Amino acid sequence: MSFVSEFNSLPGPSLAQKSLAAGAAAVRESLAKPRPSLADFANLISPAAAEFLEHMGRRSHTITQQRFGKVIRLFAPLYLSNECINNCRYCGFSRDNPILRVTLSLDEVKREAKELKSQGFRNLLLVAGEHPKFVSNHYLRECIAALHTDWPGLSLEVGPMETADYAPLVAAGADGLVVYQETYDRKVYADMHTAGPKRNFDWRLETPERACAAGFRRLGISPLYGLADWRFEAISVAAHADYLLRNCWKAQLTISLPRLRPCAGEFQPLTHMSDRDLAQLVCAFRLMFPDVGLVLSTREPAKLRDGLLPLGITMMSAGSHTEPGGYTGAGREKLHQTVRGRIVELGASEWATVGRASSRAESGDREKNSGSSVASPHQNHATAATGQFQIADERSSQEVAELIRRLGYEPVWKDWDAALTA
Ligand code: SF4
């Protein structure tokens, strides 16, 4: 039985309602249990449990140190392509957004990876929009094969595939797959995904199971907070994690905590999740899942990331760019606009005036691609592909590593070696 069947009988909305109505006594009872159930988890994320946040934080901190040690694993996203055939209303790469797009060549991918390696990273997340023409399975396999000798940790965040299509990517050296469900609310999901294969909710929901069957040894899941009620999303992803721990037990599981960020298309979050809610959720996940990795990206601002880190976070990105070529300027000379999935050559239109400013690495410019500026024919100074979203923590990877040390943790750049599988 796949998670879809379990999810269909999950009383998610009623658990979310019970969470809102929970009192202090119910929270105390749930906190006393060594193995909280899903109903206990709903109590732990309740408004009433906010009064227990300090206590939850201390326990979450202790459990995390017992299970993971005093280390924070670092990774970097490397965007291969911002082409996409899906329309997701909250995403800068959405098919109908008139943005500057590019797919990096193999040499450009290697150039980006080399820069990240020089910063110390050994754990890479290859990210791409869903576009079979530009981001084919063959292209992904070539990228993985070219990188895997130098990169002991290679995860993918790309369009969902069949198990048979994942298997060659695992054989080429990819070891992790990250797939956000975006929202577990079927109605909101249908409203948000207006075109493309991503409209199929169930197909996406079963992706981690197909990835596990193909041999990926790390799986990452999450909703994107800001689309539906955050408590419903949290209860749903907790149920999903519980299912994967029971059925895909050979793989390590991570849960990410992404909140919506500004992006091209200027989509505004539909629901609010406060910083305090986020802190409470980190603690609740840790109390429910002592061994699951919790991932915090540069979507959150520096100060908040520093504060959340000791509560239960085990993995962070740092110094991130969300546009292809963001680390070295690779691919800037072949930027183009794609209209409804078809390339419009800049040289054949007023877009030809788009400049080719020097790369961030060349200029020392620390400004990140904003992701919110939709390129227009009136702009003649665009310098990079459009990013997926604005990042909030703009510190360099070295600054983040230094902060981790100052907090008494060890930044871990490499957490796996292929020799360990021999
Ligand atoms: S969220 Fe993913 S699938 Fe949707 S538009 Fe963005 S890159 Fe494409």
pTM given for the model: 0.91
Q: Which amino acid is at 106?
A: L
The span from the CA of 92 to the CA of 193, in Å, is 13
Q: Is the pLDDT of residue 147 over 90?
A: yes
Decide: 317 in ligand 1 pocket, CB within 6 A.
Answer: no
Decide: 84 in ligand 1 pocket, CB within 6 A.
Answer: yes
Residue partners of 78: CB distance under 8 A and separation at least 6: 109, 112, 113, 116, 124, 125, 126, 127, 327
Decide: 263 in ligand 1 pocket, CB within 6 A.
Answer: no
Largest distance between two CA atoms of the chain: 68
Structure tokens at 422: 């021999």
Encode pLDDT of 299-345 as tens digits.
Answer: 999 999 999 999 999 999 999 999 999 999 999 999 998 776 677 76
Residue partners of 280: CB distance under 8 A and separation at least 6: 44, 45, 49, 50, 53, 56
DSSP structural state of residue 268 = P
The span from the CA of 284 to the CA of 292, in Å, is 12
**Residue ID of nearest Cα to ligand 1 atom 4:** 88
pLDDT, residue 341, reads 64
Backbone phi, psi, residue 296, to 5°: -125, 125
Find the 388 Cα to ligand 1 centroid distance in Å. 8
Encode pLDDT of 268-292 as tens digits.
Answer: 999 999 999 999 999 999 999 999 9
Decide: 129 in ligand 1 pocket, CB within 6 A.
Answer: yes
One DSSP character per residue, 14-53 reads: HHHHHHHH--HHHHHHHHT-SS--HHHHHHHTSTGGGGGH
